[in-house]
């Protein structure tokens, strides 16, 4: 039964006592290890190569210390080896395969996730319902979603939206910039109350309004909420969107299509609520794999606690993240994870990670630099170089340089370059040089 639309939480599973969450997660982790060791060829090989014999783990520290982690390259290599799209991580049992979804190919090679009807009625649907609920989707709403059909979000969002009793509108196109005018036309034609999209697409829609000399608030009339996936949103950018569009609130969604997990922000905007009964997320130090406490940045490593689908065990997302300490005002007790960008887009100093979100938060204070693509590079032993595609008219990069230095407490320079290549989503492929 769906909760009353006025209720903040979707179900009681989001507000379990922390000690109960820990007990259930540890039990589920042991169950996942047993299943993978007995039934899934990919993990049988990974465990054997690491000299790990699946057995009971008694603590989260022991789990992090003993169970080998995997990366996208490992899964992609297994897909190449089978030649079938399968990697040996598919916990389908005797259920029939119903859907195959694809990643966007971060490493230049797409991997696939397999789902069954039981999962689409069970754990994956529950995760979607909670995520949609936390970002403000309610029964009776008209929701425009822009996820491309091959992406996991498209499948799970549309099922979740309709299960909530809301109406879903799916315009033609994908995240490529050439479809932005079509998306803006769809907003005008259908007048949704909620929009699910990515930050670059939202920026493009506002720029298209300006190009057409169309009042942005009129274009977004009737829209109450927007939820963005794909990258972190800075505080200046959030204020800008609220002012330009006149919407009530903007939310951030985050997770990983590789790893098949994710969550949304609540009204407190502290980070992403991750369903602890469906996914276990660790934050570990890059390089050493040390399990880090709340408040410390590392990379997010996820273990799915689900069946009837592709299952990721200790999957290193290679996304910079941290568990946000403290209680959330919304009352949820599941972990709040903040995501700061890809590790390969960041610069690592001794004991510190400077991520794209850190830089974006400073640059967005300058109207001419807000949302503009950039690349972060290491410069010397304790500095960074931020390369913009071009200097926007009226912006002095000297002021931006001073602001970055003051905010991040490191040597920095903001400059321009002509070698930045835009990805298909309209974002710079921001590979950096690590120290």
Of 5, 6, 29, the closest CA to residue 277 belongs to 29
pLDDT score for 434:
38
Q: What is the value of pTM for the model shown?
A: 0.94
Measure CA of the first residue to CA of the last residue in the chain; give whole Å.
Answer: 52
- Percent of the chain having pLDDT more than 90? 78
Each residue of 291-327: pLDDT tens digit?
999 999 999 999 999 999 999 999 999 999 999 999 9
The CATH number for 123-256, chosen from 3.40.1390.20, 3.40.50.1970, 3.30.950.10, 3.40.50.980, is 3.40.50.980
Structure tokens at 349: 């100093």
pLDDT band with cut points at 50, 70 and 90 for residue 420: low
d(CA 137, CA 121): 19
Each residue of 353-362: pLDDT tens digit?
999 999 999 9
pLDDT band with cut points at 50, 70 and 90 for residue 422: low
Helix 356-363, helix 397-408: angle, nearest 10? 130
At residue 100, the 3 state secondary structure works out as strand
Per CATH, the homologous superfamily of domain 16-115+258-266+268-344 is ANL, N-terminal domain (3.40.50.12780)
**pLDDT surpasses 70 at 425:** no
Q: Do domains 16-115+258-266+268-344 and 346-416 have the same CATH topology?
A: no
pLDDT score for 91:
94
Structure tokens at 168: 């879903």
d(CA 132, CA 164): 9
Of 31, 68, 75, the closest CA to residue 52 belongs to 68
Residues forming beta bridges with residue 262, ordered by sequence position: 255
Phi, psi at 180, each rounded to 5°: -55, -45
Please state, as a whole number, how many other Cβ atoms lie within 10 Å of the Cβ of residue 370: 16
d(CA 269, CA 432): 28
Phi, psi at 365, each rounded to 5°: -75, -15
Each residue of 245-273: pLDDT tens digit?
999 999 999 998 888 899 999 999 999 99
Of 372, 384, 386, the closest CA to residue 422 belongs to 372
Structure tokens at 368: 């001419």
Residue entry with tokens 């794209």 = 356
pLDDT score for 14:
97
At residue 297, the 3 state secondary structure works out as coil
pLDDT score for 419:
65
Q: How do the domains of the chain map onto residue ranges?
A: 16-115+258-266+268-344, 123-256, 346-416
Each residue of 60-105: pLDDT tens digit?
999 999 999 999 999 999 999 988 889 999 999 888 999 999 876 6
Residue entry with tokens 């979607």 = 128
Phi, psi at 222, each rounded to 5°: 95, -20
Residues 6+ apart with CB under 8 A from 428: 373, 374, 375, 389, 420, 421, 422
Fold of 346-416: GMP Synthetase; Chain A, domain 3 (3.30.300)
Phi, psi at 278, each rounded to 5°: -115, -30
Q: Using an 8 Å Cβ cutoff, are 312 and 112 in contact?
A: no
């Amino acid at each position: 039964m769906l909760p009353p639309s006025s209720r903040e939480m979707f179900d009681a599973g989001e507000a379990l006592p922390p000690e109960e969450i820990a007990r259930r997660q540890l039990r589920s982790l042991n169950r996942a290890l047993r299943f993978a060791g007995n039934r899934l060829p990919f993990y049988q090989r990974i465990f054997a190569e690491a000299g790990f014999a699946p057995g009971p783990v008694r603590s989260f520290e022991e789990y992090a210390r003993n169970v080998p982690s995997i990366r996208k390259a490992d899964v992609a290599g297994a897909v190449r080896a089978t030649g079938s799209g399968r990697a040996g991580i598919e916990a389908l049992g005797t259920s029939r395969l119903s859907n195959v979804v694809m990643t966007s190919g971060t490493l230049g090679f797409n991997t696939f996730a397999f789902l069954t009807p039981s999962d689409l009625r069970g754990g994956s649907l529950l995760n979607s319902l909670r995520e949609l609920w936390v970002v403000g989707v309610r029964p009776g709403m008209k929701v425009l979603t822009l996820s491309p059909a091959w992406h996991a979000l498209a499948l799970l969002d549309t099922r979740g939206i309709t299960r909530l009793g809301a109406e879903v509108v799916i315009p033609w196109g994908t995240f490529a910039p050439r479809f932005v005018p079509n998306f803006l036309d769809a907003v005008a034609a259908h007048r949704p109350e909620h929009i699910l999209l990515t930050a670059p697409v939202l920026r493009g829609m506002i720029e298209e309004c300006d190009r057409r000399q169309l009042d942005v608030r009129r274009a977004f009339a009737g829209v109450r909420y927007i939820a963005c996936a794909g990258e972190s949103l800075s505080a200046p950018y959030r204020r800008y969107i609220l002012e330009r569009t006149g919407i009530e609130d903007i939310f951030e969604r985050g997770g990983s299509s590789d790893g098949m997990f994710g969550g949304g922000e609540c009204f407190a905007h502290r980070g992403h609520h991750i369903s602890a009964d469906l996914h276990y997320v660790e934050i570990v130090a890059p390089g050493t794999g040390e399990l880090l406490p709340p408040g410390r940045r590392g990379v997010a490593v996820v273990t799915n606690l689900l069946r009837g689908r592709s299952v990721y065990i200790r999957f290193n997302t290679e996304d910079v993240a941290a568990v946000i300490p403290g209680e959330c005002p919304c009352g949820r007790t599941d972990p709040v994870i903040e995501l700061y960008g890809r590790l390969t887009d960041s610069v690592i100093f001794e004991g510190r990670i400077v991520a794209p979100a850190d830089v974006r938060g400073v640059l967005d204070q300058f109207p001419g630099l807000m949302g503009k693509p950039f690349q972060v590079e290491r410069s010397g032993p304790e500095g960074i170089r931020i390369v913009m595609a071009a200097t926007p008219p009226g912006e002095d990069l000297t002021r931006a340089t001073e602001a970055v230095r003051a905010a991040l407490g490191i040597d920095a320079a903001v400059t321009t370059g002509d070698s930045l290549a835009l990805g298909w989503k309209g974002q710079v492929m921001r590979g950096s040089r690590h120290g």
